[in-house]
Amino acid sequence: MNHFKSYGQRILSHDFPDFEKFALEIFRFQAQNNIVYRQYLNLRKIRIADIRQMDQIPFLPIGFFKNHDVISSEIRNFQGFYSSSGTTGSITSRHYFWDEAFYLKHSQQLFEKEYGPVDNYHILALLPSYLERPGSSLVRMTDHLIRQSNSPHSGYYLYNHQELIIKLEELRNDSRKVLLLGVTFALLDLAESGLKIPKNKNFFLMETGGMKGRRRELIREELHDILKPVFHVEEVHSEYGMTELMSQAYSKGNGKYNLPSTMHVLLRDINDPLSLIFRSQGGINIIDLANFHSCAFIETQDLGKIAPDGSLEVLGRFDNSEIRGCNLMVN
C-alpha cells in the first residue's frame, strides 16, 4: 500500500517529468506484484530485466479484467471495484480501486485541465443506461463533478426529456456554462424527440458511451451531423474512457482526443498483436500511469490512429470484440 500512496501522490502532484522512466518503474513493480500480469509475462517468456524501453513493455489484453482480479496487491487492500456495462448476458469487467478519493480527484484534475474550474459549470447528465446499473466509474466521476460544481441546477436526467428542456430553457441566459453530458443513444433519442432545444451561447454538448445495443452504430461524422443542428452547437465534444482505466481523454471536436499527461498510446499491428507499428493506424495499446494499482499497460479492442500533433482518433473496434461501454464509433 505504501507504493500505492506514493504513486498516487506523484500522479496528483504531476511529479513525473519523465513519462517513460515512470512507466518503466511501474512496469517493474507490477511485473513482480501483479499475479495475473506476472503469469502473462511468464507465458510469453518475458524477462523483466530485458525491458529497458517503454515500447518493449508487454500489454495485457483487456479481456483479462473479465475473468481475473487484475490487482497489484492483496485484494483486502482494495475498497471496491468498478464494473463495465456490457450487454445482456455478457461477462462484465471488474476494475478494483485502492482509494476512490484518488480516482475522483484525478478525474477532476483531468476535466479541469481541458475545461477549467468545474464550478464554472452547470452539469446536466443524461446517462440512463449507466444509472440503471451499479458500479459505473463514469457515474461516480459525474457524481463528483456535479457536487464540485456547487450548482443547484446540476443533476441527472433519465428519460424525462421535457424536464431537461425546461432546465435548459431556464439556464439559457445564465452566466455559467452549461454542459450536457450524455450517452450517445440517449442524446439521439432526445434529438429525435421533436422537442425544441433552446439556443444558449454558453452551452456545449459532450457524448460518452455508445449505443449499448439500443440503436444502430453510427460513424462519428454521421452522429455529429445529426446532433449539431438540433443542439445548436458547432462541435460535439467527447469523453474517452473505460472501466479498465483510471484516466480519461477529451475531444473538443472532430473526434480527436487530447491525451492527458498520465496516458500514452502505442499502436499495434492488427494482424500481429505482439508487434507495435509507428505509422498509419492499428490496435490501441494504452499506458495509463493512474492504473498503478492494477495494470497500467492495456491492450484494448479499439482501433485508432495518432495524429502528428499527438492527439488520438478512435476509429472503431475490432469486428470480433464485444460492444463496450466506452465511446466507439465504427468507421
Ramachandran area for residue 165 (φ above 0: left; ψ -120 to 50: alpha; else beta) = alpha
Higher pLDDT, 330 or 97: 97
Read off the pLDDT of each residue in 35-62 and give the average, rounded to a whole number.
96
How confident is the model at residue 325, as a pLDDT?
40
- DSSP calls for 273-324: EEEEESSSEEEEEEEEGGGTTS-SEEEEEEEEEE-TTS-EEEEEE-TTSPP-
Residue 245 has pLDDT above 60, yes or no: yes
Residue 28 has pLDDT above 70, yes or no: yes
Q: What are the pLDDT digits (tens) for 64-93? A: 999 999 999 999 999 999 998 765 456 889
| Cα dihedral sign, 295-297-301-302 | positive
- Domains of the chain with CATH codes: 9-85+257-317 (2.30.38.10), 102-251 (3.40.50.980)
- Mean pLDDT over all residues of the chain? 89
Q: What are the pLDDT digits (tens) for 226-240? A: 999 999 999 999 999
- The residue type found at 282 is G
pTM: 0.91
Contacts (Cβ under 8 Å, ≥6 apart) of 17: none
Read off the pLDDT of each residue in 145-154 and give the average, rounded to a whole number.
97
